[in-house]
Amino acid sequence: MTFLMGPALLFCPADRPERYQKAAERSDAVIVDLEDAVAPADKQRARGAILAQLGATGDVPELDPSRTIIRINAAGTDEFEKDLHCLKHTPYRHVMLAKAEHAGQLKALEDYSVIALCETAAGILNAASIAAEPNVVGLMWGAEDLLASLGGTSSRNDDGGYRAVALHARSAVLLAAGAFGKEAIDAVYVNIPDLDGLAAESRDAVASGFGSKACIHPGQVAVVRDAYAPSESDVAAAAALLAAAADAGSGVFQFNGKMIDGPILRHAESTLRRAPR
């Protein structure tokens, strides 16, 4: 699996165009949000803001289309249709579909590369069939909307850790993405001041196989990047292991007293992919 756009993706409300460029500069990719971040009465103005920043010719956006994701409203809603009408007049072709629930919803997005946001019970249960769609490039999960769809009140326990149902959803989306070779994006960490908690959760995301993590505040970006960047010693160890594997040829071999086989080598390759260039 390859990284879509980098480890730290930053949400930016679509009705705050003065923040677009700052969000893009401070993150690896910006998610311009037409859904939850925008009040219903402001959604049309938000779409207008996306169009207004394109410039006089309509083809020179302030944001780099290759590093920009537009989160659109849930399929089957009037706002979804309005979002698509807006996007037809832009160069943006990376979208995040809010509340994705079944594979059929992806048919209307055949002209886009889609990150399916699985954040309802139906979306989690159908994550594998959603991931199988050819225009889906990634899956993300959402904790708070999921618990709301279940009639719950909070995705986390008093100690800050996820409740069992949220952990199950997180794992289900990660496994579905991995099964079909798609990117997995970890959910946002809503306790903005708790950078230590964010760091711990980001390190777990890396170790578990999430290719990136979404952020809701610029101050979270550096923490996520630090978690995804391997240390110099990790990079050196991975490079040495892969060099030893090349010398050993095929098959299982020993290195520094440990048995080395294919999965261990893939772990080392993943470490090197995350290393700064």
Place of tokens 């009037």: 78
91 and 196 share a domain? yes
Percent of residues, the chain, with pLDDT higher than 90:
77
In the structure, how many helices (H) and strands (E) does the chain have?
11, 10
Strand ranges (DSSP E) for 59-132? 68-72, 94-97, 113-118
Query: For the segment 25-42, what is each residue's pLDDT rounded down to a tens digit?
Result: 999 999 999 999 999 999
**Stretch 208-230: mean pLDDT:** 95
**260 is in which domain, residue-wise?**
232-273
Tally of structural domains, the chain: 2
The answer as to whether 2 is a domain residue is: no
In the numeric block, which tokens belong to residue 162?
């996820």
200 and 81 share a domain? yes
107 and 244 share a domain? no
144 and 268 share a domain? no
CATH number, position 51:
3.20.20.60
Query: For the segment 44-81, what is each residue's pLDDT rounded down to a tens digit?
Result: 999 999 999 886 555 556 799 999 999 999 999 999 99
Give the residue from 191, 206, 228 where a domain finishes. Answer: 228
39 and 129 share a domain? yes
What is the pTM for the complete model shown? 0.86
Strand ranges (DSSP E) for 34-81? 68-72
